[in-house]
Amino acid sequence: MITLYPFHTQLQNAWKLFLSRWGNAVVIQLLTLIPGVLIYPLVSEYLVAVQNGDNTSALFANSPNGPLFLLGFLFLILIGIFVASATGILFAVRDKISLGKVFASTFSTYIPVLYTSILAGLAVLISLIPALALNYWYGVFALGGSVVSGSGLVAVEAIVLIAIVALLIPAMIVAVWVMYAPLAVALKASPAGFTAIMHAKHLVRHHVWQLAWRVVGTIVLFQIISGTVSTLMYASYLVPFVLSIIIFAFFVEVYKELQDV
């Protein structure tokens, strides 16, 4: 098995890729503001309720902005898939490409990418069912007045936590298997649907754990950097925004690397 480039080398490559195409990447990412306008009113109500210490459990049902939020959430998913596909195309092509060509290519493959994304999401969701079921069972057990207490309860919690983590491992493997399926369809490297999922699984078959640790590593890196600038007025918004684009470029660079190995 051929080992992928070291994590820091891939980050450097992603940074260079971002610098070469950051303008178009930012414009594409800003499309997510469109559904944000629809979601904002209810989110604003929720934040005010939390700040005032009000009960937020019935906020969605009672707020007149509830239907608007649902519409915005649906658009967020649809536009989010479009943005991810367009960003993938922008970063994946060997030579620079105009924004018009990126959008044209994204529109031409959008429905197949959408279908593949839904199928991949369902695969991950199904793989999460055992862990979610165990967590739900324990929540009912804990809230149902269990006679276990003290050190016994701590032991049960530890066992359940270990079991949930163990059950999440297969879900992570499935997520790695399908993570590149939508991008492969967007780049016309594979037909849509199950074929794309099998293509992506074949692509990462010898690098599952290398990719899994990279996913964890980028999440940790994102949290550390975002937390560092969280108290700065403008940087608290700008840095996570830019960092999310760089991380996307990182995984596109890994995709190109996987095609070469």
| Residue position matching structure tokens 């030579």 | 95
- pLDDT per residue as tens digits for the range 181-197: 999 999 999 999 999 99
Report yes or no on 74 lying in a domain.
Answer: yes
**Separation CA 73–CA 35 (nearest Å):** 7
**Cα(18)–Cα(1) distance, rounded to whole angstroms?**
29
User: What pLDDT is recorded for position 106?
Assistant: 96
Element (H, E) at 243: helix 235-260
pTM (two decimals): 0.88
Residue 123, in any domain of the structure: yes
pLDDT in tens, 214-260: 999 999 999 999 989 988 888 888 999 999 999 999 999 999 999 87
Is residue 252 one of the residues assigned to a domain? Answer: yes
pLDDT at 151: 64
Average confidence score pLDDT of the chain:
88
Q: What local confidence, expressed as pLDDT, does residue 30 receive?
A: 94
Query: Would 1 be classed as within a structural domain?
Result: no
Q: Is 67 helix (H, G, I), strand (E, B) or coil?
A: helix
Number of domains in the chain: 1
22 located within any domain? yes
Q: Please tell me the predicted confidence (pLDDT) of residue 232.
A: 86
Q: What is the largest CA-CA distance in the chain?
A: 65
HSE-up (13 A, CA, CB side) for residue 134: 16
Q: Is residue 2 domain-resident? A: no
pLDDT of residue 42: 86
Can you give the residue range of the structural domain that contains 68? Answer: 7-260
pLDDT in tens, the chain (261 residues): 567 889 999 999 999 999 999 999 999 999 999 998 889 888 888 888 778 777 777 777 778 888 888 899 999 999 999 999 999 999 999 888 899 999 999 999 999 999 999 999 999 999 999 988 888 877 776 655 555 555 656 676 777 788 888 888 999 999 999 999 999 999 999 999 999 999 999 999 989 999 999 999 999 999 999 989 988 888 888 999 999 999 999 999 999 999 876
- Is the Cα torsion angle 107, 34, 53, 62 positive or negative in sign? negative
Predicted pLDDT at 94: 85
**Residue 159: inside a domain, yes or no?**
yes
